[in-house]
Chain A
Amino acid sequence: MRPENYQAKNHPPSHEFELNFGPNHPGIEGNYAFKVKLNGDTVLSARADGGYLHRGFEKLMEGRLWIQNIALVPRICVPDPVPMEVCYSLAIEELGGLEVPERAQWIRVMQLEMSRLAAHLFAFGGHAATTGMYTTMFWGVADRDLILDRFEELTGGRVYSIYNIPGGVRREVPDGFLERMSSLLDYLESRLPDYDNLFFRNQVFIKRARDVGAMTQEQALKWGVTGPNLRATGLAFDVRRDDPYLVYDQLDFEIPTEPGGDALSRNLVRRSELKQSIRILRQVIERLPSIRGPIRCPIPNPLAWNVPAGESYTRVESSKGELAYYVVSTGGDKPYRVHVRGPSSMHAVQVLENLAVGSRLEDVAQIMFSLDACPPEVDR
């Protein structure tokens, strides 16, 4: 049977050609596409093409109740959903003037850090897979699954927990959860040397990832890079420390940086952040039993809740970078406008296009995965 595909056309002789990357391509994170123009193996230009995951969240939210949107927001970033819920809840709390009980804040921090651990394990696993080392991905995803088990125990949902509501969290921490969490952290810590040997100190990987997609600190600031990608250029900026929310100002943690600004540095930053997240979680486990009190403040009937008019801009540090929500209320039972500023909207479009130029074809996927771009955040 003949293929349906196009007949090859005779082109004028040239060294340049265009290659489509995605949307159906294993070198793409999620459902995203870009077109690269190549000369031999060198990329001359790249052009991103998004919208494959567009659902019109911002429009949907305008048509739903404040509380209904809680179920909608985690879907905006699938690998790292908890910061979305927390950020949206923080915005409503600021608008409605709600005081979140301290215990709820600590539980939120715990959740955020669990989500960060899971997302980072997923991120460098994916990066390893683009360079052909599937073992790291297999291990990383399996270890991430153990964190998802704890999520399930705490919230009832594996991926989307819908656990944070304006005013606090939905459920009390189950009995014995903290002990199980603690033993999970012990396990993850014992796994870290394995990951080092297999991946982060693997000479072949270092040779592949060094100087790939490198940017200087000035470039990163100019392009609006945030999160681990910015820290990989040597600037110690973290929303958790510099614009603190919840109880992060009471926690003791470091902000790891790397000088290189390349794919290797970005991965090493994620590797160090795993350690910091484990450290934060240990502090939470230690402090949480001593903090008693309610887990949420009373809120009006959510089905007829008119949030006071005003606007708020809240930011949290997700595993990808700076995540922000701009919420406008006109005093109705639905938001007037919600704008989601996903960190990947910078990384996956401009930064990727800029970094891809001059790189090699075999490094394009590496650049995308090392930036940890999350296409649903871009498309929304």
Chain B
Amino acid sequence: MSPGELIIELFLMPLVAFVVGLGMVLMYRRIGARIQRRVGPPFFQPIYDIIKLYGKHTQISHGLIHEIGIIMAVGGYVAAETLLPVPGMSGLADKGGVVTLAYVMMIPSLGLALGVGQCANPNGSIGISRALTAMLAYDIPFILVIFGAAYVYGTTNLADIIAIQQQQGPGGWGIVQMPLLALAALLSLQGIMGKQPFEIYIAPAEIATGPMVEMSGKFMGGLFVMQCFQLYTVGVLYTTLFLGGGEYWLTFLPKIFSVVAIPMMIAFVFPRYRTEDVIRLLWKWPVLIALTGLAVVLR
């Protein structure tokens, strides 16, 4: 790949991720609306919200760290997108691999913690401490799953993982090869996405949306953009590891949309757990399933 192509891909991949992510946000809100027996937002609603937030006159900044925090939050995901191969583009996937990706995916939470800490709002601080605790909870099954997948495929290179799965057809997909790990990954996906029942760190009724409490204007817009990237990242990562990635966009898009639709549907019919219950639950069932899955694949 020539450097020119690489630069184009590095530019294009986050852009595609953003557009697809907008669609996922729309889907999230529409699914919620259907479950709640109503119509839901118009098609372009996510983009209206983001443009409006960036177009606010007042942009209240709480200092440099606050701004850096948001840049880290969005930038972490932008970096993650360049490591995720999609049909036709593989970006830095050859050089990074799934372990780097797992690290990069932690940056946004840490960036958010930095930014929120600067706001000095107690609600935000409580929220971010809950968010980091939840991260601790879902990362353990997630790392186990990544380890298992890397062992099965014999590589951490995502491009190779896709190639291996596609050579063997649907029978060779990760979800067939290691169903237990796929299940554990789906459970920790709910935590990564931060949807109910693992939504305690947002909790409007308790801490007034936690980390977002002092975010306004473009900072809030940044978080909205981050949400698009987040949904896209988890969808693509799961598809890459377990659903054979995508050869064409036509097959790839339905896969990633259906992956994120599952946690979304669960989210609207459950209340949220307390922090300790989140940890207990995520360290018990997904970890147990993942360990069993590991035992099966390592045998």
Please measure, in the bound complex, the distance between the C-alpha atom of A360 and the C-alpha atom of B130, giving whole angstroms.
14
Q: Does A361 sit within 8 A of B, measured CB to CB?
A: yes
Please measure, in the bound complex, the distance between the C-alpha atom of A205 and the C-alpha atom of B271, giving whole angstroms.
6
| A209: nearest chain-B partner, CB-CB | B271
Tell me whether A132 and B199 are in contact in the complex, defined as CB-CB below 8 angstroms, given that A204-B270, A205-B271 are known contacts: yes
Contact check, B120 vs A1: say whether CB atoms are below 8 A apart. Answer: no
**Contact residue among A26, A128, A204 (Cβ-Cβ distance under 8 Å from B204):** A26
Please measure, in the bound complex, the distance between the C-alpha atom of A29 and the C-alpha atom of B271, giving whole angstroms.
18
Q: Kindly name the residue among A19, A129, A208, A362 whose own CB sees the greatest number of chain B CB atoms within 10 A.
A: A362
Q: Does A25 sit within 8 A of B, measured CB to CB?
A: yes
Q: Does B59 sit within 8 A of A, measured CB to CB?
A: yes
Q: Does B58 sit within 8 A of A, measured CB to CB?
A: yes
Contact check, B277 vs A207: say whether CB atoms are below 8 A apart. Answer: yes
Q: Does A316 sit within 8 A of B, measured CB to CB?
A: no
Q: Does A278 sit within 8 A of B, measured CB to CB?
A: no
**Contact residue among B37, B61, B205, B275 (Cβ-Cβ distance under 8 Å from A130):** B205
Q: Does B36 sit within 8 A of A, measured CB to CB?
A: yes
Q: Which residues of B contact A19 (CB under 8 A)?
A: 122-123
Q: Which of B245-299 contact A (CB under 8 A)?
A: 268-275, 277
Q: Which residues of B contact A1 (CB under 8 A)?
A: 58-61
Q: A174 → chain B, closest Cβ, in Å?
A: 28
Please measure, in the bound complex, the distance between the C-alpha atom of A138 and the C-alpha atom of B269, giving whole angstroms.
12
Please measure, in the bound complex, the distance between the C-alpha atom of A5 and the C-alpha atom of B275, giving whole angstroms.
30
Proximity bits, B180-209, A CB within 8 Å = 1, else 0:
000000000000000011011001111110
Chain B: interface size category: 20 to 34
Proximity bits, B28-64, A CB within 8 Å = 1, else 0:
0000100111100000000000000000001111100
**Contact residue among A25, A130, A134, A365 (Cβ-Cβ distance under 8 Å from B268):** A134
Tell me whether A202 and B274 are in contact in the complex, defined as CB-CB below 8 angstroms, given that A1-B61, A2-B61, A27-B206 are known contacts: no
Q: Which residues of A contact B61 (CB under 8 A)?
A: 1-3
Contact check, A202 vs B270: say whether CB atoms are below 8 A apart. Answer: yes
Please measure, in the bound complex, the distance between the C-alpha atom of A55 and the C-alpha atom of B205, giving whole angstroms.
27
Q: Which of A207-255 contact B (CB under 8 A)?
A: 207-208
Q: Which residues of B contact A202 (CB under 8 A)?
A: 269-271
Tell me whether A26 and B62 are in contact in the complex, defined as CB-CB below 8 angstroms, given that A19-B123, A135-B35, A135-B268 are known contacts: no
Q: Which residues of B contact A25 (CB under 8 A)?
A: 208
Q: Which residues of B contact A17 (CB under 8 A)?
A: 122
Q: Does A198 sit within 8 A of B, measured CB to CB?
A: yes
Q: B272 → chain A, closest Cβ, in Å?
A: 4
Please measure, in the bound complex, the distance between the C-alpha atom of A139 and the C-alpha atom of B199, giving whole angstroms.
21
Q: Which residues of B contact A27 (CB under 8 A)?
A: 204-206, 208
Contact check, A129 vs B207: say whether CB atoms are below 8 A apart. Answer: no
**Contact residue among A3, A207, A365 (Cβ-Cβ distance under 8 Å from B205):** A365
Q: Which of B124-183 contact A (CB under 8 A)?
A: 126
B interface with A by C-beta (< 8 Å): 32, 35-38, 58-62, 120, 122-123, 126, 196-197, 199-200, 203-208, 214, 268-275, 277
**Top-5 shortest CB links A-B:** A131-B271, A132-B272, A27-B205, A138-B36, A130-B205
